[in-house]
Structure 1
């Protein structure tokens, strides 16, 4: 185990929900899934959930992954936060 993994409260591998939100534009879910797939090989189709805001202006997308390490999660969030269509990640 690396020093970074010792700092994490998670025990890897583990199921981890990655959440990203943005304006409800066409294919935002596909954009997010493509970014996550850069780092996760075995992402299933039922791993993705979407939820529109009350007014339909924004969308929240959750992708459940089997995280292998803190470094993997950090890389996913770095890519997601660099995307101009994503306004927030959790």
Structure 2
């Protein structure tokens, strides 16, 4: 009789909460893009500090990478933040 360890459930996580968690958001370099990302970040982390934002332009200058670091309190919070950012019309990719 072999005993197998239980399969990990959705609630298992390698992340220990609360923690600082960086998220990279990419979109077209357009007026209001950084503000839009910041607004979403504050919806999920009221303590979000805009001074922590890191920006990186694409080689051609058409796209902008915005790295935000939020205070993550749960997997549900992160999942919903990723969903909200991913569906924003100005956002192309969320990592």
- Is TM more than 0.5 here? yes
Q: Tell me the SS of whatever aligns to 2:44.
A: coil
- Displacement after TM superposition at 1:45 (Å): 2.3
1:70 corresponds to: 75
TM-score, length of structure 1 as denominator length: 0.90
Gaps of 5+ in 1: none
2:23 corresponds to: 18
Moved over 4 A (4+): none
Q: Structure 1 residue aligned with 2:58, among 53, 58, 64?
A: 53
When the two chains are superposed, the root-mean-square deviation of aligned CA atoms in Å is 1.2
2:3 corresponds to: none
CA distance in 2, matches of 1:45, 1:84: 21
- Displacement after TM superposition at 1:4 (Å): 4.2
Where is the helix percentage greater, Structure 1 or Structure 2? 1
1:82 corresponds to: 87
Q: Tell me the SS of whatever aligns to 2:14.
A: coil
TM-score, length of structure 2 as denominator length: 0.85
